[in-house]
Structure 1
Amino acid sequence: MIHKLEHIGVKVNDMDASVKFYTEVLGMRLANRARLDDGVELGFLSFPDSDNIEIELIGRGSDGLSDNGKVHHIAFTVSDIEAEVERLKGLGVTMIDEEPREILGGVKIAFFFGPDGERLEYFQPLAK
């Protein structure tokens, strides 16, 4: 079951400049910044009094996408990502990730396509 809109991912060319813009111009706060094994850098920002929805800045890496400044994906929080992925497969949804994968040492994700080719993501924080 989907619980909420988790975040919107935006491709950026310069992570430092983008973090500066979102924090200094829009008043957001940087909640987390990390580099994945494939070189992609992520920056998660939210508003100080509303951290339940984030913007995820996605820096250069090896995902082959060069659409900087464009929405990369929309993510939804789910409670059982494995069951949701199987449900999508059963509905004939085109999957990017056939199985959920773990990133950042505490999050499972799985990407899939919407009907117009938009990238969507299921996001499940792991229990600590």
Structure 2
Amino acid sequence: MIHKLEHVGIMVKDMDASIRFYTEILNLELVGREKLDNGVELSFLSYPDTDHIQVELVGRGSDDIPAAGKVDHLAFTVSNIEAEVERLRGLGVKLIDEKPKTILGGVQIAFFYGPDGERLEFFQPKQA
């Protein structure tokens, strides 16, 4: 039986820069990091005190990262999307959406880029 989605893997060029981005900008915590015998480096990040889905950063130690299988985007739930977009703007993060969009009758979304050009999304659920 499948119980839950465990993690989402994202290919990265610079592990240290990616860890800084995900911890300092998105407030995830680094919970594990290991370099494998074949040169692949893995880092796992999650939010404090949760056993929910993790982000796995996968570094191959070169700039030649394959595009095949690259994750389309990773979404983070927020409570005040406008404030979060402004925070990213102030930090110099490259925004895809300059202001949030409304979809599905009240859900708000805004996309931005991570350090390797990965698409990331802030997702604010529909207000009751």
TM-score, normalized by length of structure 1? Answer: 0.49
Greater RCO, 1 or 2 (C-alpha within 8 Å, sep 6+): 1
Larger-gyration structure (1/2): 2
**TM-score for the superposition, normalised by structure 2:** 0.49
